[in-house]
A and B are shown apart, each in its own frame.
Chain A
Amino acid sequence: MENENLSYDKALARIEEIVNKLEAGEEGIDQLSEMVKEAAKLVSFCKNKLRMTEDEIKQAFEE
């Protein structure tokens, strides 16, 4: 999960997958807990990535 090469789109897809699984509620509590943690991490990764992208774009246009 700490993979730096993870793309935004894959991360997002994984988040959606986790949400679906959570909504289905078919997993055991341990797995659920793991998935939630993963999703939270992924969300923060994505948010971070978005912020970074925004900064890069801003920088790019300012140059």
Chain B
Amino acid sequence: MQQAISLLELNQIIRDSLENNLSPSYWVIAEIGELKLAAAGHAYLELVEKNGNQVKAKIRANIWQYSFRTIAGRFQAITGKELRAGMKVLALATVTFHELYGISLTIKDIDPNYTLGERARIRQEIIDRLRHEGMMELNKRFELPSVPQRIAVISSQTAAGYGDFVQQLQSNRYGYQVHFKLYPATLQGSEAAKTMIRALEQIEEDAQEIGYDMVIIIRGGGAQMDLDCFDDYDLALAIAKFPIPILTGIGHERDETIADLVAHTKVKTPTAAAEFILSGFLGFEEELLTFLKQIERQVSQKLLWEDRNLRDYTSKLKHISLQKINWEKQSFTTKENQIQNLAFNKVKMQCFQLEKLSEIIKKDFKGSIQKENQNLDSLEKAIKNLDPISIFEKGYSRSEIDGKPIHSTGIREGMEMVTITKSKKIKSTIQEIEDYGK
């Protein structure tokens, strides 16, 4: 039988063999199972390795106060997060064995890039999965209303970002009225994703009645904070499958969360979310104004055109009327001339005829006068011839009985007879009457 040794001696042997056989330090990949900060500034941890929920390995570890400040500071600067339980880390550890306290790791350094890479890897896995499941574009298929009337907001009543959002909406200088309702949720920590999913479920239920046309997720804002909850697979799935377009205003500058990727539209800050909504209103109003202007332009153009048309018609009418009148005038003048000519011709003809007639009359008249003159001349001659004086001149005489020519009275012997000569009246008594001649 081997000689028995004391426990202290055994523990000293263990320590010696560990010290002799182990390297001074190891880079170890492990998950932080527990992290406690002691009053003195030291950190006490439990590192684990899991396969699902089953713990495969476990060891105590500590980070002494003088190195913890440096390690924690650098870690937060690079990853944006505080060291905490559940994180997978790459740690530079020295194995120490103390006779009284047993085995533990003293952590001298933690490489934040590993955690960062690990987070990115997990994130990428989730993205790949969502992409594979066709979730990335699902919420984007909805058309975002240009003028959202009913908006459901997932945020925290007390969050500064929510305040900014409300302030921006309510004091917009255009005076637009935007109706929204807050569905409170926790926006950081391990419960954040779950409360947001619950809020989404509530919104979907209320949407039956209220008819939301947009959902906005607004984070608290302020200092750079933990964004892990927005990389949650379940939350991403709920956002992707949501029947209403979702807008995210998570308020981070550096990179996109998965919630941003699956949401319909992503803006950087809560204020930007409010501006986005207002810009929709403004754009809509501007579009309306543009339409109005177009209508106005079209109408005035049309009016102008019609006016021109009318004027054209008017001048055409005037022209045609004037032409017609002129034509009629000309036709009148022609007719007038014709009438005049005809009348003149007629008059000329008549004149000519009259002339002829007057010539004839003159001639006839002359003839008549001549005839009359001749007649008168012959009458005059006859009278002269019959004038007893001219008979007496020739030596003839005239005898009367009782004032009557003797050839017209019965004569007897013894009757008294007067004989007239040129210058004598001779009274005689009839002695004897004797017939002679036949």
Q: Give residues 34-61 of A contacting B (CB, 8 Å).
A: 36, 39-40, 43, 46-47, 50, 53-54, 57, 61
Task: Please state if A46 and B403 are interface contacts (CB–CB under 8 Å).
Answer: no
Contact, CB under 8 Å: A50 / B380: no
**By the criterion CB–CB under 8 Å, are B383 and A33 in contact?**
no
* Interface mask (B179-190 → A, CB under 8 Å = 1, otherwise 0): 000000000000
Asked if B333 lies at the interface with its beta carbon under 8 angstroms from chain A, I say no
B44-59 contacts to A, CB under 8 A, are none
How many chain B residues touch the partner (CB < 8 A)? Answer: 26
- Could you tell me if B404 and A28 are in contact, using CB atoms closer than 8 angstroms? yes
- Closest A residue to B372 by beta carbon equals A50
Cβ-defined contact, A29 with B376, below 8 A? no
Whether the pair B383, A18 counts as a contact (CB closer than 8 A) is: yes
- Least Cβ–Cβ distance between A10 and chain B, in angstroms: 14
Contacts of A22 in B (CB 8 A): 382-383, 386-387
A57–B365 CB distance below 8 A: yes
Total A residues in contact with B, Cβ cutoff 8 Å: 24
A19 within 8 A of B: yes
Interface residues of B (CB under 8 A from A): 358, 361-362, 365-366, 369, 372-373, 375-376, 379-380, 382-383, 386-389, 398, 400, 403-405, 407-408, 420
Query: Which residues of A does B touch, CB under 8 Å?
Result: 12, 15-16, 18-19, 22-23, 25-26, 28-29, 32-33, 36, 39-40, 43, 46-47, 50, 53-54, 57, 61
**A-B CB contact pairs (8 Å), 21 listed:** A15-B379, A15-B383, A19-B379, A23-B382, A25-B405, A26-B404, A28-B400, A28-B405, A32-B386, A32-B387, A36-B389, A39-B383, A40-B380, A40-B383, A43-B379, A46-B376, A50-B369, A53-B369, A54-B365, A54-B366, A54-B369
